[in-house]
């Protein structure tokens, strides 16, 4: 079985418990990896890998301490892979919501394409196409994104030794959030699982930042907390299509109700 690392700030005890409960339910062996707190890094430590000038010139802003700490945490895990000659590793962040079917790609990783660098277990993706590669027991598919685009997600993924080596090279002059590097599928041999097996559990990440879809998922969790036990339902609700559809229905109902109220008021005045 692949080694599993969970990135968790020492002070985030509730998140640690959240992940421990999920791992116990899945029967996965894991290790908590102490997340890097960007606020506690010295300037010398930051300057070793982060290029403030490049960030400002290319992105128009500096990375936040949280973004720097998040990136450092993932980078240190890549270094662990190389230092210990680890074939591949599962990396999870402590706000991950993990579906039980995640065991399929983890157990069948030796059947991945020979050139694979990274397999995303969850994702926010923009791609022209997704090419089917293989299926695991007819339940989970492995697909490869093609065309211009990117993936923005670090809550859960599997990275190979070669993928870790490439990512260490890409992040030598760090000036973007870490998912801007992991998501460069034109530079990495990248694959995704379908359906998504890892989602973000809520809005307030302590080790990274959120994307629009995750905010929608977080909104549903606030309204219906029990949905945290139904990752695939959350996956459906987090898609922009259904959300927009539901919002359109709400707007239509509000519009018709408003017109009905106006008509009632008009009839009431005439009755007088």
Residue spans of the domains in the chain: they are 4-211
- Is the Cβ–Cβ distance between 71 and 53 less than 8 Å? no
Q: Whole-prediction pTM value? A: 0.75
Interval 164-186: pLDDT, tens: 999 999 999 999 999 999 998 78
> Can you say whether the dihedral through the CA atoms of 158, 186, 116, 176 is positive or negative?
negative
Strands (E), the chain: 4-8, 31-34, 88-93, 96-98, 118-120, 125-126, 129-136, 140-146, 150-151, 156-160, 190-194, 198-200
Radius of gyration for the alpha carbons in the chain, expressed in angstroms and rounded: 22
Reading the chain (272 residues) residue by residue, the pLDDT tens digits are 899 999 999 999 999 999 999 999 999 999 999 999 999 999 999 999 999 999 998 888 899 999 999 999 999 999 999 999 999 999 999 999 999 999 999 999 999 999 999 999 998 876 667 888 888 888 999 999 887 678 889 999 999 999 999 999 999 999 999 999 999 878 899 999 999 999 987 634 555 443 444 445 555 556 666 655 565 555 555 544 444 445 544 555 665 666 666 666 666 666 65
- Is the Cβ–Cβ distance between 34 and 65 less than 8 Å? no
- What is the model's pLDDT at position 219? 57
Interval 39-62: pLDDT, tens: 999 999 999 999 999 999 888 889
- Please give the CATH topology (third level) of the domain spanning 4-211: Spore Coat Polysaccharide Biosynthesis Protein SpsA; Chain A (3.90.550)
CA 159/CA 178 separation, integer angstroms:
14
Share of the chain above pLDDT 70, in %: 72
- What is the model's pLDDT at position 152? 86
């Amino acid at each position: 079985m692949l080694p599993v690392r969970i990135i968790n700030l020492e002070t985030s005890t509730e998140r640690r418990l959240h992940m421990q409960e999920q791992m116990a339910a899945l029967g996965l062996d894991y290790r908590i990896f102490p997340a890097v707190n960007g606020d506690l890094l010295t300037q010398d430590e930051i300057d070793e890998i982060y290029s403030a000038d490049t960030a400002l010139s290319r992105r128009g802003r500096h990375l936040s301490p949280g973004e720097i700490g998040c990136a450092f945490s993932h980078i240190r895990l890549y270094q662990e892979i190389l230092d210990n000659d680890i074939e591949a590793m599962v990396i999870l962040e402590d706000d991950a919501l993990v579906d039980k079917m995640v065991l399929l790609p983890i157990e069948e990783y030796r059947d991945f394409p020979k050139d694979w660098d990274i397999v995303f277990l969850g994702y926010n993706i923009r791609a022209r196409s997704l090419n089917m590669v293989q299926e695991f027991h007819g339940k989970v598919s492995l697909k490869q994104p093609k065309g211009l685009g990117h993936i923005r997600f670090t809550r859960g993924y599997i990275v190979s030794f070669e993928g870790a080596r490439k990512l260490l090279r890409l992040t030598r002059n760090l000036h973007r959030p870490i998912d801007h590097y992991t998501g460069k599928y034109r530079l990495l041999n990248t694959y995704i699982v379908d359906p998504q097996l890892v989602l973000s559990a809520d809005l307030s990440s302590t080790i990274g930042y959120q994307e629009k879809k995750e905010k929608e998922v977080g909104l549903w969790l606030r309204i219906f907390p029990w949905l945290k036990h139904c990752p695939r339902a959350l996956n459906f609700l987090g898609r922009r299509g259904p959300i927009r559809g539901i919002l359109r229905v709400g707007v239509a109902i509000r519009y018709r109700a408003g017109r009905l109220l106006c008509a009632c008021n008009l009839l009431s005045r005439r009755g007088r």
